Amino acid sequence: MTPQASQQHPSPPLVSGPSVARQRCINPGCGASFAITDTLTACPSCAALLDIVYDWTASGARAATTLPPGTPAWMRWTFASLPAKTRADTSGVWKFRRLMPFYDDEKNIVTIGEGKTILQNADLLARHLGFEPGTLHLQYEGQNPSGSFKDNGMTAAFTHAKMVGATVCACASTGNTSAAMAIYASQCGIKPVIFIGQGKIAYGKLSQALDYGALTLQVAGDFDACLAKVRYIAENIPRAGVYLMNSVNPFRLEGQKAVMYRVLEGLCWQVPDWIVVPGGNLGNCSAFGKAFAELLDLGMIDRVPRLAVINAAGSSTLDRIYNGLGVRWNGGKYFSDGGKAKVDAEYARMYAHNERASTIATAIEINRPVNLAKALRALEIMKGDANEGIVRSVGDETIKHYKAAVGKFGFGCEPASAASVAGAHMLRQEGLIKPGQTVACILTGHILKDPDVTVSYHTGLDAKASKQPLPTERPPGQYANPPVPVADDLGEILRAMGVDTTGLDLSGAAKATGKVAKEY
């Protein structure tokens, strides 16, 4: 940027907070909107998910990004950057705060230096897999403070939690959400409570939750059961005072948009042809879709990448719904054109057959992805040069194979993350990814998150089978923080959380949080 240019286009001030940001129901047929100071996990009118929406004109972002036609994207970005550098600029999320101005005061931003991750050029891996040099990139989110991409979302959600005065936070997790939530909670003085399915979490992640001092409830159920319980408590039991940190929290997804900003930054704001991401609860891909819709709206980019969401074959609900049942977002008509009804029927079928998710990639071992509707929307937004995004599934052996390949060429990741590279290679072999197209795979979690899978792959040792059951006596260490086993029962869970259940009517809870969990 030349000095003359900056004088002609001084960067406008940034306005943030309730005057420029609102929460809005994603169902266009509803469209209800709420103040950002409300704590909500779903639309109170129609139970659909919520978005954070902005008045980009009032926030200054539109003026900051509007430059004459033909201005290169990188120059738009330069103009959009902020007038002065502050502490928030040390975060790889908040340096993009002009694109997420919901916080009330910059001084109240909760950050632990997340998002200092870069887009890595993976030329050796590319050559090995038959991609052209310079076309395969890995966005290495395992380098975040808690070792996964979740920190991008937690910094935003905790900033909101502080805004609304939360004192207890909770999440259901396959491991990384809990690790990220626990580190932020313990740094900013909010009590963390974690719900994990018994035997469903990699030890690297469990060790983080315990060390960061979270109350860790090992529920005798799977992730879907845990999420139904914690969501019910957050929504219906005010005396528990729980602020929910799962990705139904729309503020979390605001932070996760930054993963895409950094991919663009790594490519000097040249839009890649493909973004390939593992899909579990589908928060990440949902955030990516929103990021690109907003960048287009602001004129900062003039094309979008094509999205490929990769499921594990043992946990492939999105694949079945998208490819098998042909359900689409359809401009939001999903809620009324029979799409959502098909999803509900599929969930009922899964329940009737007692179908459970099962994959070595425990991070994405999820049957009922809560962000399904937003993910369908992202697949419509991120269509690249085609009509829509793509969904594929990869099996456990394939995941292990590509995980080892990622490690061999110097990056390393946990099993779920390798699904992105496996998926990209599959799409290249199918001819959907064309020679020379630029691909960014998201490596969502660090290699050390799940050492059992790595050791077992390289040695043949079944590390999981050789583990002893947890001892029942309390360990002697002064700070010992053992997990608390609980039945898959709301009353027992609440008592383990220290909530007095005397006189509490839990009769309606069984239906809402049991196997036939309420769908959102």
Asked whether 257 and 99 are in contact (CB, 8 A), the reply is yes
> Binding ligand F0G by CB under 6 A: which of 182, 214, 282, 418?
282
Which DSSP category does 323 fall into? I
Cα(154)–Cα(181) distance, rounded to whole angstroms? 6
Instruction: Return the number of the residue (65 or 317) whose C-beta is nearest ligand F0G.
Output: 317
Span near ligand F0G by CB under 6 A; candidates 170-178, 338-346, 377-385, 387-395:
170-178
Alpha carbon of 304 to those of 35, 64, 288, 297: distances in Å?
Answer: 30, 21, 11, 11
> Binding ligand F0G by CB under 6 A: which of 280, 332, 389, 483?
280
* 317 contributes a contact to ligand F0G by CB under 6 A: no
Span near ligand F0G by CB under 6 A; candidates 93-101, 206-214, 409-417, 496-504:
409-417
* 279 contributes a contact to ligand F0G by CB under 6 A: yes
| Cβ 201 to ligand F0G shortest distance, Å | 9
Cα(259)–Cα(140) distance, rounded to whole angstroms? 10
Instruction: Return the number of the residue (375 or 509) whose C-beta is nearest ligand F0G.
Output: 375
> Binding ligand F0G by CB under 6 A: which of 59, 155, 284, 393?
284
Q: Give the β-pairing of 50-54 and 33-35.
A: unpaired
Instruction: Return the number of the residue (66 or 208) whose C-beta is nearest ligand F0G.
Output: 208
Cα(277)–Cα(394) distance, rounded to whole angstroms? 12
> Binding ligand F0G by CB under 6 A: which of 66, 111, 417, 456?
417
Total interface residues for ligand F0G by CB under 6 A: 21
Span near ligand F0G by CB under 6 A; candidates 16-24, 67-75, 230-238, 275-283:
275-283
The distance of Cα 116 from the centroid of its chain, to the nearest Å, equals: 17
* 177 contributes a contact to ligand F0G by CB under 6 A: yes
Asked whether 444 and 142 are in contact (CB, 8 A), the reply is yes
Helix (H) or strand (E) run with residue 137 in it: strand 136-140
Instruction: Give residues 100-159 in contact with ligand F0G (rule: CB under 6 A).
Output: 148
> Binding ligand F0G by CB under 6 A: which of 174, 316, 317, 393?
174
Asked whether 393 and 364 are in contact (CB, 8 A), the reply is no
Interface mask (CB under 6 A) for ligand F0G, residues 359-378, using x and -? ----xx--------------
Instruction: Return the number of the residue (59 or 176) whose C-beta is nearest ligand F0G.
Output: 176
User: Rg of the chain over CA atoms, in angstroms?
Assistant: 22
3-state DSSP assignment of residue 129:
helix
| Cβ 286 to ligand F0G shortest distance, Å | 7
* 173 contributes a contact to ligand F0G by CB under 6 A: yes
Alpha carbon of 239 to those of 41, 170, 484, 494: distances in Å?
Answer: 17, 14, 21, 10
Cα(427)–Cα(63) distance, rounded to whole angstroms? 39
* 423 contributes a contact to ligand F0G by CB under 6 A: no
* 289 contributes a contact to ligand F0G by CB under 6 A: no
Please give the single-letter amino acid code of residue 70: G
Which DSSP category does 335 fall into? G
Span near ligand F0G by CB under 6 A; candidates 96-104, 276-284, 432-440, 479-487:
276-284
The residue whose two tokens read 């469209």 is 31
> Binding ligand F0G by CB under 6 A: which of 92, 101, 283, 305?
283
Q: How many CB atoms lie within 10 A of CB 434?
A: 12
* 315 contributes a contact to ligand F0G by CB under 6 A: no
Which DSSP category does 2 fall into? -
List of residues contacting ligand F0G (CB under 6 A): 148, 173-177, 247, 278-284, 363-364, 414, 416-417, 444-445
